[in-house]
Amino acid sequence: MNQEDLANIASQTRESDSHYDHVVKVCVAAGCLSANSDQVKTQLESEIKQRGLETCCKVKGVGCMGLCAAGPLVSADANDRMFQNVSPADAAAIINCVVENKPAPPAIVMDSKIDFFARQEKIVLENCGEIDPERIEDYIASDGYEALFHVITKLKPLGVIEQVTKSGLRGRGGAGFPTGLKWTTVFKAAGQRKYVICNADEGDPGAFMDRSVLESDPHRVLEGMAIAGYAVGADKGFIYCRAEYPLAVKRLRTAIRQAENHGLLGMNIGDTHFDFKIEVRLGAGAFVCGEETALIASIEGGRGTPRPRPPFPAQEGLWGAPTLINNVETFANIPPIIRRGGEWFASIGTEKSKGTKVFALAGRVKNTGLIEVPMGMTLREIIFKLGGGIPEGRRFKAVQSGGPSGGCVPEQYLDIPVDYDSLASVGSIMGSGGMIVMDESSCMVDVARFFMEFCMSESCGKCVPCRVGTTQMHGILQRITEGKSEEHDLELLQRLTGMVRSASLCGLGQTAPNPTLTTLRYFMDEYRAHIEEGRCPAGVCHPVKAEAEVIA
């Protein structure tokens, strides 16, 4: 395969697609699939066949369109027409609408001009909902693997790193470390063998960005990894993916096989001397394996326990070799950065947070699903414009970002721009992109207890501050929700948060106090209501203290 072959595949695919007057796209990512979108697709196909429309109308399975709550989703004619909550029985009506321009039943018609779609800016998700994730030709026809060819034939490794550095891209896994700097460190590290690892162990509850990217556009991640391999001098890559995402794993494996068959992975890629192979490794349900040193231990076949840094994986990682670890979304940003230049990417977003960010919007919000917005958009715009606000006329209470490592942001900070530094300034973190909206029906003490229970059970047990500290904090929070606490419990809780934060070995323990700290800071009245009045304002917990004493 050389550049000419690639261009041929692209033009042939575009040419054969242009024969169709209508392309009907059906979402076949996990969300819509679990609502039987595969049956919708089959029914649409047989409807087209029955009417003899095969030459002018084509049905295509595509990745995630974003608005998962309204699935299964179907779109047609460059997304001018969209349909929601589609069932196989709606196939005839959809074909009538698309081909004969007859109005479809109002229940399944979706307005494609709503804020949820209109206010997004797609870079990472540009192919999601557009291409068939199981066909490499579709990816190539959308300029896929062009960046890889450009890199290996025209750029030196340092030239690639220069573009990434210029782009200002920061790690999308949560901590926001500058990607260019990480690549430079691995490039400079001495070592015969180097590795590239893609962290696809999306363990944050409430986050499904990486899953959607892997299910909807797996080749983009492979291309990003291969470019990284060329830049840092690695010939082998691993994708560490959660076993809880069987569809993502299946599509990744299909994509790797296709890329190998096309000579886009393997030996002598693009007839150059560059070799790069990728293997998938399955996680086994341990949240701590999202931490890079624990992830490496897991790929090596052991228990996923972290180790102290330094040495950082960039110097000593997998089997002691210099290792580059980036998250799925970070790698997915690489091909467009190379194609369009680092400066283009740096022109989007805020001063210190460049580009876009994908968020998984969920919880008590009308439009739950996946969105990609430029950095710097306010939380208010995300939740109330794109998200459509809170359903059932309830009041907004808090938004939780960053999962068990993040914090709960109250209403008074809804106008802060979403970027790494602003979120950190109010005690939360950007995290990997989970954004859970809570309304007045959620008790913030209970939410803090929920996250602490998570961290307690996911603590690997290696270091004492995390293992014991999270258990103690959980015990206090549990007592508060049960109405069995004392005033000094709050003080003890505060002290423990500081201790666990500063003394834990890895990020899990260091950030475990964040949900508790932010709820203590912004929702102290709820804690006091539980402790002093034996009352849960949201009606979630049943603090029994007051009555118990009366009976006694």
Partner 1 sequence: MVTTAKTISPPSDDKRWKIVEGMMRRHGYEPYALIEVLHTVQETFGFLTDEGLRYVAVTLRVPYSKVYGVATFYHFFSMKPPGKHTCVVCTGTACYIKGAPVLLNAVKDVAGINEGETTLDGKLSLLTARCLGSCGLAPAVVYDGQVGAKVTSESIRRRVHEYLESESEAEVQEAGK
Range 217-256, binding partner 1 (CB under 8 A): 243-245
Per-residue contact flags (x/-) with partner 1 for residues 1 to 30, judged by CB under 8 A: -----------------------------x
Residue 115 or 421: the one with the smaller Cβ distance to partner 1 is 115
- Residue of 300, 343, 351, 532 interacting with partner 1 (CB under 8 A): 300
3-state secondary structure of 501: helix
DSSP-derived letter for residue 102 is P
- Cβ 17 vs Cβ 141: under 8 Å: yes
First to last CA, the chain: 82
438 binds partner 1 (CB under 8 A): yes
463 binds partner 1 (CB under 8 A): no
- Cβ 375 vs Cβ 351: under 8 Å: no
Residue 224 or 283: the one with the smaller Cβ distance to partner 1 is 283
The residue count for binding partner 1 (CB under 8 A) is: 53
290 binds partner 1 (CB under 8 A): no
59 binds partner 1 (CB under 8 A): no
Select from 94-102, 104-112, 199-207, 425-433 the region that touches partner 1 (CB under 8 A).
Answer: 199-207
Select from 37-45, 77-85, 90-98, 448-456 the region that touches partner 1 (CB under 8 A).
Answer: 448-456
320 binds partner 1 (CB under 8 A): no
Report the C-alpha gap between 161 and 342 in whole angstroms: 10
Residue 30 or 227: the one with the smaller Cβ distance to partner 1 is 30
Query: And the tokens for 509?
Result: 């323990």
For the chain, helix, strand, coil in percent to 5 are 50, 15, 35
Signed CA dihedral, 457, 463, 468, 474: sign only: negative
362 forms beta bridges with 436
69 binds partner 1 (CB under 8 A): yes
Question: E-strand spans in 66-127?
Answer: 74-76, 81-83, 109-110
Q: How far is the CB of 205 from partner 1 (least distance, A)?
A: 3
Report the C-alpha gap between 494 and 472 in whole angstroms: 12
Residue 7 or 284: the one with the smaller Cβ distance to partner 1 is 284
204 binds partner 1 (CB under 8 A): yes
Report the C-alpha gap between 152 and 155 in whole angstroms: 6
- Inter-CA distances, 283 with 224, 244, 286, 303, 360, Å: 21, 8, 7, 11, 21
257 binds partner 1 (CB under 8 A): no
Residue 285 or 498: the one with the smaller Cβ distance to partner 1 is 285
Identify which of 218, 199, 57 has the alpha carbon closest to the alpha carbon of residue 127: 218
* Maximal C-alpha separation, the chain: 85
Strands 434-439, 356-363: pairing kind: parallel
- Residue of 121, 307, 450, 492 interacting with partner 1 (CB under 8 A): 450
Cβ-count burial of 154 within 10 angstroms (0-12 exposed, 13-18 middle, 19+ buried)? exposed
Select from 162-170, 176-184, 217-225, 277-285 the region that touches partner 1 (CB under 8 A).
Answer: 277-285
Query: And the tokens for 489?
Result: 């419990």
Q: How far is the CB of 157 from partner 1 (least distance, A)?
A: 28
436 forms beta bridges with 362, 400
128 binds partner 1 (CB under 8 A): no
68 binds partner 1 (CB under 8 A): yes
DSSP-derived letter for residue 485 is -
187 binds partner 1 (CB under 8 A): no
Per-residue contact flags (x/-) with partner 1 for residues 347 to 376, judged by CB under 8 A: -------------x-xxx---xxx------
Residue 196 or 444: the one with the smaller Cβ distance to partner 1 is 444
Phi then psi dihedrals of residue 234, to 5 deg: -110, 150
Residue 226 or 289: the one with the smaller Cβ distance to partner 1 is 289
Q: How far is the CB of 471 from partner 1 (least distance, A)?
A: 18
Residues that bind partner 1 (CB under 8 A): 30-31, 34-35, 67-69, 71, 202-208, 211, 243-245, 281-287, 298-304, 360, 362-364, 368-370, 400, 403, 434, 436, 438, 441-442, 447, 450-451, 454, 458, 460
